Amino acid sequence: MSRFFRWNMLVTSFIPLWVSVLFLLAWDVLPFSYSSFACLFKAKGSVLILAAIIMSIAVVSIIAVIRFIVLKRKPNESSGTGKIIAARKSSTLVTDFLLTYIMPLIAFDFTSIRDIVLFFVYFALIAFLNIRNGNVYTNILFEFMGYRVYVCDIERNVAGRMHEYKDCTVISRKSLTGRIEQDFTFYDFDNDIYIDLS
């Protein structure tokens, strides 16, 4: 999985936080009337710059993830087929939600330059850890696209021999818990992260 895709996955998993931050920034700017954009920028420049950065990065990441998924759903993009030995829905939603959305809203004042810098340090650390370790977890963009995240044991052919991979992350539009012992077509990121293309 490329670092660019991991970055986009991370950014899109923060969509509820980005929407919340943009709402807070708009709430801070809209009640005041300014005679010109120059006056507004002078008074609230840091807030406007932060909003522009968040919107730009989020839009680019959303487009990149959607484009990636659409391209991988083409028949010639398949990495292979495998059999689902065991499957369960990923249960990381609650902890991911608390860590990524609630904590920053409580810990940082997004109208203060000091807290904005602290947030970027916090986000850079989370980005480094997630991208380095190839973490993929529940992503609200995937939820909107109809995908769910499952933890599965997969059996697949590698170099002419059958291998079983345990605790793999499988992103699928279909319920995998009812497809035990069935084959599925996938795109393989690493040997433990798959997108179900069937």
Report the predicted TM-score, pTM, of the whole model to 2 decimal places.
0.77
The pairing of beta strand 161-172 with beta strand 193-196:
parallel
Alpha helices in 73-194 (DSSP H): 93-97, 103-107, 113-133, 140-144
Q: What total of structural domains would you count in the chain?
A: 1
Query: The domain containing residue 142 runs over which residues?
Result: 3-196
pLDDT in tens, the chain (198 residues): 577 888 888 888 888 888 888 888 888 777 667 777 777 777 777 778 888 999 999 999 999 988 988 887 776 655 778 889 988 887 765 566 566 667 777 788 887 888 888 888 988 888 888 788 776 666 778 888 888 888 889 888 877 788 888 888 888 888 888 888 888 888 887 667 788 877
Task: Please state, as a whole number, how many other Cβ atoms lie within 10 Å of the Cβ of residue 191.
Answer: 12
Distance CA(132)–CA(1), nearest Å, equals 11
